[in-house]
Amino acid sequence: MSVMYKSTRNSNEVMTASEAILKGLSDDGGLYVPDNIPALGVDLNKLADMDYRQVAFEVMSRMLTDFTEDELKHCIDSAYDDKFDTPLIAPLVNKAGANYLELFHGSTIAFKDMALSILPYLLVTSAKKNKVTNEIVILTATSGDTGKAALAGFADVPGTKIIVFYPKNGVSPIQEKQMVTQKGDNTYVVGIIGNFDDAQTGVKNMFNDKNLLGDMNNKGYQFSSANSINIGRLVPQMVYYVYAYTRLVKNGQIKAGDKINVVVPTGNFGNILAAYYAKEMGLPIAKFICASNENKVLYDFFETGSYDKNREFILTSSPSMDILISSNLERLIYRIAGDDAAKNNDLMNGLNSTGKYEITPEMKAKLSEFYGNYATEAETAATIKRVYESDGYIMDTHTAVAATVYEKYKADSNDDTPTVIASTASPYKFTRSVMEAIDKSYASQSDFELVDELNKLSGVKIPQAIEDIRSAAVLHDTVCDKSEMEATVRNILGL
C-alpha cells in the first residue's frame, strides 16, 4: 500500500515521500504527514530475531513507499555502520527499574544521529529520483544537538551545502565546540544573538520567503531542511521503538503483544511523535510519557488543552529541550482534529498571532494515551546522583529529566507496565552539569578535566567525538543578530 504525504495546513497538497523529504516544509508553512500508516505486518517474534538494519528496512519501507528496496537498503546500510560504536546501534540497558534505550552511540553522541546519519542518503536519493539538478542547501536551526549531527551527516556530501544557526549563548560548551570545529568545505556554522525559537522562526521564514527562494533558484540552489520537521527524520526515528520493543521480547521481559510504556525527554516533539506513529503501525504501546524540563509548555498543554508560549524562556542544563514552540506537536494536533487541515490551520494561525491556542474537549479526549510532567533543575540533578549511587549508571541531563518524570508517573498511577526510557545523549556531552549533579566540588575543574573524572566514575570509554574536540581548531566564528539571518545566508551563497 502506498503512502502519500499531505500538508497539515492544506489537504490538497499531496506528495510522495521523496518529494516531501526534499521539500522539508510545505509552502503553506504546514508539515508533511502520512495520509495513512500501514500495519507493520511482520510478526514481532520474527522482528526480535532481526538486527537493527533489518528492523529499519521493515519499518521504513512501510512509510517511504516510493523508494525501491535497493535504494532503501543502500541508505540504511550506509547510515548504520561503524560510525556507531556498537553493532547493536541502539542498546537497551536495564538499570534502576527501567530500560534505557541508549540512542547516543552515533558519531556525535546524541540521539539526533539516529536520523541524521541516514537523512543525507535519503535526501540525495530523493534528489536523484526527482531529477533535481539544483544544489541542495540544508538550512537548520539547532538547540545544540541537531546542528552537529546534521553537519557530520552532510559534510562533503556532493551536491549539498549545510548552514546551521545556533543560539550563541544557549548551547553547552561541548556542543558549541563540536559545531565550530566541523570540517568540510560545504559546512557553515553561525551563532545568533537570540534563543532557539528565534533561530527556528528565522529558518522557517526563509523557507517561506518567495524572493529568497527565487534568487536561490536563479543561482541553482534550493533549500531543504534537516530539522525534525522533515519526515526523513521522523520515519527513521520510528525504527528504534520497534527495535527496543522486540529486544524486550528477545530477552524475555515481555511476550509479543504485551504493552509497554515509553518515556521521552521532549523538546520539538519529534522523538515522541515517532513513537506515536510506531504505535499506529501496530507496536503495542500503552502510554506516551512526555517529559519536559522547566520550559514546561507541553506539560501545561496536556493538563489544560491550552498551548501558550507566552512565558519566560528558561536556560536549563538540558538545553536541547529548551523550546517553547514544539513544532512537531502540529502533527499530533492535525491528527486529533480528525486530519482536518482547516481546523489545524486556525489553531496554528492563533499560535502565530497570539502565541497560543486552545483545543476542543473532543480533541483533548483523544490525548488520553499521553501523560505529561516535568522536572525541575534540582530534581534532574538529584536523579543523576541517585541512579549513579544506586546503580553506578551515569545518565545525561536530558535522560535524567525523563527518569524523573517516570518516577512521578509511577507515583501518580501505580502503573508497573514495562517501560522504555529514551536516553537521548551521552553524559559526556553534558559533562559539567552531570558531574556537578554528582558532586558540587567538581565545579572548579575544567571541561576536559571533568571528562577524565567522568571516565573514572563511570568506567565508560571516552567517546571518539570528545577525543576529537580536545585539540581541534575552531573553523567557524560567524555570529549575527537574529534579524540578520537572511543576510548571512545570502552572503554565504553569494546572492
Ligand X SMILES: *Cc1c(COP(=O)(O)O)cnc(C)c1O
437 binds ligand X per the rule CB under 6 A = no
321 binds ligand X per the rule CB under 6 A = yes
271 binds ligand X per the rule CB under 6 A = yes
Written as one letter, the residue type at 474 is V
Determine whether 183 is an active site residue.
no
- The correct pick among 34, 153, 191, 265 for binding ligand X (CB under 6 A) is 265
269 binds ligand X per the rule CB under 6 A = yes
User: DSSP class of residue 474?
Assistant: P
**Using CA atoms, how far apart are residues 204 and 17, in angstroms rounded to an integer?**
21
Q: Residue 129 or 177: which CB sits closer to ligand X?
A: 177
**Using CA atoms, how far apart are residues 338 and 33, in angstroms rounded to an integer?**
13
3-state class (DSSP) for residue 355: coil
Stretch that binds ligand X, among 267-275, 278-286, 346-354, 408-416 (CB under 6 A): 267-275
In the complex, minimum distance from the CB of residue 269 to ligand X, in angstroms, rounded to a whole number: 5
DSSP string for residues in 437-469: HH-GGGGGS-HHHHHHHHHHHH-PPPPHHHHHH
Strands (E) located in 110-220: 135-141, 160-167, 187-193
In the complex, minimum distance from the CB of residue 149 to ligand X, in angstroms, rounded to a whole number: 8
**Using CA atoms, how far apart are residues 187 and 148, in angstroms rounded to an integer?**
11
Residues within window 77-136 making contact with ligand X, judged by CB under 6 A: 110-112
Grid cell, residue 128, equals 536523484
Place of cell 490538497: 12
270 binds ligand X per the rule CB under 6 A = yes
Q: Residue 147 or 221: which CB sits closer to ligand X?
A: 147
**Using CA atoms, how far apart are residues 298 and 309, in angstroms rounded to an integer?**
10
Say how many residues touch ligand X, by CB under 6 A.
17
In the complex, minimum distance from the CB of residue 22 to ligand X, in angstroms, rounded to a whole number: 21
266 binds ligand X per the rule CB under 6 A = yes
In the complex, minimum distance from the CB of residue 65 to ligand X, in angstroms, rounded to a whole number: 24
Least Cα distance to 31 among 356, 364, 334, 352 occurs for 334
200 binds ligand X per the rule CB under 6 A = no
Write the CA distances from 386 to 261, 375, 377, 438, integer angstroms.
Answer: 22, 15, 14, 8
Cross-strand pairs, 15:
5
320 binds ligand X per the rule CB under 6 A = yes
Q: Residue 44 or 401: which CB sits closer to ligand X?
A: 401
In the complex, minimum distance from the CB of residue 271 to ligand X, in angstroms, rounded to a whole number: 4
Stretch that binds ligand X, among 36-44, 117-125, 269-277, 301-309 (CB under 6 A): 269-277
In the complex, minimum distance from the CB of residue 397 to ligand X, in angstroms, rounded to a whole number: 8
Q: Residue 224 or 271: which CB sits closer to ligand X?
A: 271
Helix (H) or strand (E) holding 134: none
Helix (H) or strand (E) holding 374: strand 370-374
Q: Residue 29 or 267: which CB sits closer to ligand X?
A: 267
319 binds ligand X per the rule CB under 6 A = no
Q: Is 261 left (phi over 0), alpha (psi -120 to 50) or beta?
A: beta
Largest Cα span, the chain? 61
In the complex, minimum distance from the CB of residue 290 to ligand X, in angstroms, rounded to a whole number: 9
- The correct pick among 26, 108, 268, 458 for binding ligand X (CB under 6 A) is 268
Burial (CB < 10 A; 0-12, 13-18, 19+), residue 95, is: middle
- The correct pick among 13, 145, 198, 407 for binding ligand X (CB under 6 A) is 145
3-state class (DSSP) for residue 196: helix
Q: Residue 170 or 265: which CB sits closer to ligand X?
A: 265
**Using CA atoms, how far apart are residues 365 and 290, in angstroms rounded to an integer?**
17
Q: Residue 138 or 212: which CB sits closer to ligand X?
A: 138
**Using CA atoms, how far apart are residues 20 and 4, in angstroms rounded to an integer?**
9
164 binds ligand X per the rule CB under 6 A = no
**Using CA atoms, how far apart are residues 494 and 1, in angstroms rounded to an integer?**
44
Site string for ligand X, 207-236 (x = CB under 6 A): ---------------------x--------
267 binds ligand X per the rule CB under 6 A = yes
Active-site choice (23, 112, 161, 279): 112
Stretch that binds ligand X, among 2-10, 38-46, 266-274, 465-473 (CB under 6 A): 266-274
424 binds ligand X per the rule CB under 6 A = yes
Which residues have a catalytic role annotated? 112
Q: What are the residues binding ligand X (CB under 6 A)? A: 110-112, 145, 228, 265-271, 320-321, 398, 424-425
